[in-house]
Amino acid sequence: MLSRVAENIYWMGRYLERAENTARLVSVTGTLLLDQPGTNRSHGWNRLVTITGCNAAFAQTGEQPGEAGVTRFLLVAADNSSSLVSSVAYARENLRAMRDTFPGEFWEGINDFSLFLREQSGAGVEAAHRHEFLHAVIGRCQTLVGILMGTLSRGVAFDFFSMGQHMERADMCTRILDVDVAAGQPLSGLDSLWLHLLRSVSGEPMYRRHVNPRVNAVDVVAFLLRDRRFPRAFNFCLHEVERCLETLDHNALGIQLIKRVERSVDTRDVSGLIADGPGAFMDELQQALQRLHEILSATYF
């Protein structure tokens, strides 16, 4: 496979995943803030910009901090290259350059998604319609991935898509853990914070069934970092990247790095992590992902 095509597919996976994660993040923040009476809600929204690593870009757009400015920036801003609308537009552009590699329904689906965003994205900024809009966005992302699951042959194209998707997902996992734990002021009780965290990744039923019917900080953080069965947990994502790499040549460096990171996640003392604030460790994981991306890029693209 051409390097350019592989890179296009990898990024398409990342963009689609980023679109879904952005929708999840905005959705969960909105609900969480409603449950924290008395706190400065604007502050809660502004932290989202920090989580996504977009402080500088946000300052440049001239948007006002606060709910309206932040949701506009994260969902519809064309000048934010990581916004929901931009992510879908990039995914579509990438696909356009390699339509022949993918099933027709996938192209139709992504086209339809773009049209939907063109008509409806305004609703994401209005608090009253936001939930419905974000729900539809998440559903469309899942449908698109579902089409690939059901129609794309398992091979190099599928693996590069999956690597992009899971790299992005692992990255987002470290970002939500970082912020939410740090922001967890026990005003309304921590439990509600952990619950929201689980819900943001649709992980509540899996956690209750497989880990603990009761929600508590240590178990939730350990679940989101280490679980090997839950598809949005950090180590699950890394493991999927590893699985894809195993089918490719020249994979030694990447696999070595993944194994090292998985081990450090597995052996980390979670209660200590929560007590000290997870910021430093999450930074470390993000840097490891960045290194892994650089290895993929240098080897295959």
Partner 1 sequence: MTIAWKEYPFTSGCDELLTPDSLPRSGAEGLYRYLTGLGMEELRERQQAAEETILNLGITFTVYSQGDNIDRAWPFDIIPRLIPSKEWNRIEQGLIQRLAALNLFIGDVYGERRIIRDGIFPEEILAMSRNFRSQCVGMRPAFGVWAHVCGSDLIRDRDGRILVLEDNLRVPSGVSYMLENRLITKRVFPELFGTQRILPVDDYPARLYDTLAALAPEGRNPPRVVVLTPGIFNSAYFEHVYLAQRMGLELVEGRDLVVGDDDGVFMKTISGLQRVDVIYRRVDDLYLDPEEFLSTSMLGVPGLMRAWRKGRVALVNAPGAGVADDKVVYAYVPEMIRYYLGEEPILANVTTWKCLLQEDRRYVLEHLDQLVVKPANESGGYGMLIGPMASRAEREEMAGRIRADPRNYIAQPMIALSTVPTLTENGALEPRHVDLRPFILQGAQSAVTAGGLTRVALRKGSLVVNSSQGGGSKDTWIVATED
DSSP secondary structure string, 85-154? HHHHHHHHHHHHTTGGGS-HHHHHHHHHHHHHHHHHTHHHHSHHHHHHHHHHHHHHHHHHHHHHHHHSPS
CA-to-CA distance for 126 and 208, rounded, in angstroms?
Answer: 33
Contacts for 120 with CB less than 8 Å, ≥ 6 apart: 133, 136
Nearer to partner 1, 104 or 272 (CB): 104
Of 109, 94, 225, 105, give the one whose Cα is nearest residue 160.
94
Q: Which is nearer to partner 1, 98 or 195 (CB)?
A: 98
CA atoms of 52 and 162, how far apart (whole Å): 21
Q: Give yes or no for residue 248 binding partner 1 (CB under 8 A).
A: yes
Residue 238: Cβ within 10 Å count: 25
CB 101, min distance to partner 1, A: 10
Nearer Cβ to partner 1, position 167 or 248? 248
Give the nearest distance from C-beta 198 to partner 1 in angstroms. Answer: 37
Which residue has tokens 């929204």? 45
Give the shortest CB-160-to-partner 1 separation in angstroms.
8
Q: Which of 43, 96, 154, 228 binds partner 1 (CB under 8 A)?
A: 96
Nearer to partner 1 among residue 37 and residue 249 (C-beta): 249
On whether the CB atoms of residues 73 and 58 are closer than 8 A, the answer is yes
Piece of the chain touching partner 1 by CB under 8 A; list 1-9, 31-39, 199-207, 217-225 = 1-9
Binding to partner 1 by CB under 8 A, coded x per residue (else -) over 133-172, reads: -----------------------x----------------
CB 155, min distance to partner 1, A: 12
**One residue of 31, 34, 104, 132 binding partner 1 per CB under 8 A:** 104
Residue 252 beta carbon to partner 1: minimum distance, rounded to whole angstroms: 14
228 is an interface residue for partner 1 by CB under 8 A: no
**Token code pair at residue 166:** 């899971």
The yes or no reply on residue 290 touching partner 1 (CB under 8 A) is no
Span interacting with partner 1, options 20-28, 38-46, 92-100, 174-182, rule CB under 8 A: 92-100
Cα separation, 266 vs 235, in Å, equals: 9
Closest approach of partner 1 to the CB of residue 240, in Å: 18
How near is the Cβ of 248 to partner 1 at its closest, in Å? 7
Rounded to whole angstroms, the Cα distance separating 117 from 23 reads: 12
Closest approach of partner 1 to the CB of residue 145, in Å: 22
Of 34, 78, 97, 187, which one interacts with partner 1 (CB under 8 A)?
97
# residues near partner 1 by CB under 8 A: 16
Cα gap 52→301, rounded to integer Å: 25
Look at residue 5 and give its three-state secondary structure.
helix
The reply on whether position 119 binds partner 1 by CB under 8 A is no
What is the distance between the alpha carbons of residues 211 and 42, in angstroms, rounded to a whole number?
34
Half-sphere exposure of residue 5: CA atoms within 13 angstroms, side-chain side: 11
Can you give the binding site for partner 1, defined by CB under 8 A? 1-4, 6, 96-97, 99-100, 104, 107, 156, 248-250, 300
